[in-house]
A and B are shown apart, each in its own frame.
Chain A
Amino acid sequence: MQHHKKSAKQAVIENYAALVRRVTPKSKVGQGCLRSFWVGGAICVLGQAIADFGINYLGLTASSASTFASMSLVFITALLTGIGIFDRIARYAGAGTVVPISGFANAMVSPAMEFKPEGWVLGTGARMFTIAGPVLVYGIASSVIVGILYYFIQW
């Protein structure tokens, strides 16, 4: 009896989920991917251009040029976020702005601005990492694991 009752409730929930799926408008997958593709590609091209500029005109090594490009993209993102343009681009581009380093920078800059009314320490200082913190946690932790494994097995 108890079992029967439970499955009846489950059936109601499943039927409702099907109704919701039918009524909810679908995302435009093709359009979304195309926009992400060209904006994301363009951001990478900009990164390459900055790196080449660093190598050719600033005398940077290839690896410093790559760091220089990342930092420049972070700076551009911070500026565009500050003047309220980045979210407009992101609304159009979706993952095109999320996946490049610009997405990481925006994830730090936007809460830093947003939570200023809560104070410089617990607002801006602490909340800066609400979205970007997990990226650092999982990125750094997994790199440490890789380093330790490499120490022992040196593949």
Chain B
Amino acid sequence: MSVEVKNAIKQFGAFTALDRVSLKVESGELVALLGPSGSGKTTLLRMIAGLEFPDNPQESQILFYGEDVTTIPASERKAGFAFQHYALFRHMSVFENIAFGLRVRPKTTRPPEKEIRARVEKLLRLIQMEPLGPRFPSQLSGGQRQRVALARALAVEPKVLLLDEPFGALDAKVRKDLRRWLRQLHDEIHVTTLFVTHDQEEALEVADRVAILRAGRIEQIGTPDEIYDRPASSFVYDFLGNVNLFSGRIKDDSVVIGETAFALTEKSGAEDTDAVAFVRPHDIRVTRSASGQSTLPARVVRCHAAGPLANLELERLDGGGWFTVQLSREQFHELQPRTGETVYVELKTVKVFAESLPINYSI
């Protein structure tokens, strides 16, 4: 266990940023803290860096490799931190920015000038910016600045690398490139890394494990597959997006959506409770005729088949709103749907969350 947070509480006035958060990160792991704004993810990261301190120091703990650092200030924690807006020292060159962490060390532990130069040059090679050492931060692009911020954090050989929205301020293409680069970099140097993001795609693509935060609590933590395939709550399902919501009612062993009843895989024992069924767009089958009993009638509103998958926008005939279906190209060509015609949909994998019940069901 390289980083462990136990039971941390943090409040800013009346706002609760962290509500008894506990988190364990294995050595060498790349973990994403994912959540909407205000969910406490940045506060958690700053707390690990030592820029914020928990409100309950008696009950809470922060451990680096088993060593209690709860009351140790940021300057002695040996964490590397890259800020959302980079926070590069604007009056220093790229080279001096990266060298800063080494130069401010006390004389006894400061490496000699020659070694500092060698280390900085090695880092400049690592971030692929070798010739740009003498430049100033103002003369760099956003992506370059972010890489310098990373190199500066890595220069002090941190026990933990903390990145606050590392790609937040960049445009889409640079973002994708840098994402891939970060993953490669992590595979090369294997430093335990936590990064904050509000972009689910980014978290699922880059991280070994993803922690989803909501209102100061960790809602679920797991590998990207686990999170995507088995969301622990309706919030996680909703937040990860790419999902259709069907509201209905649970009646004993079935869920009723519109006028159609779908059988549940287990008995709920509940009498008539509000419930929401979550269905991913690729877990829906579309047919021309109402073959089985459990099909919903819908009207085709729009179809677009650009790219490897075809998207259908459908409107429920029972007035329950719109939903999206994803078909492979073959399925799409087989079906040949036309705008305005009526089709019948079958829900293949469904997760039902009942608001008043502690248990969740699948169909």
B partners with A: no
- A positions within 8 Å CB-CB of B: none
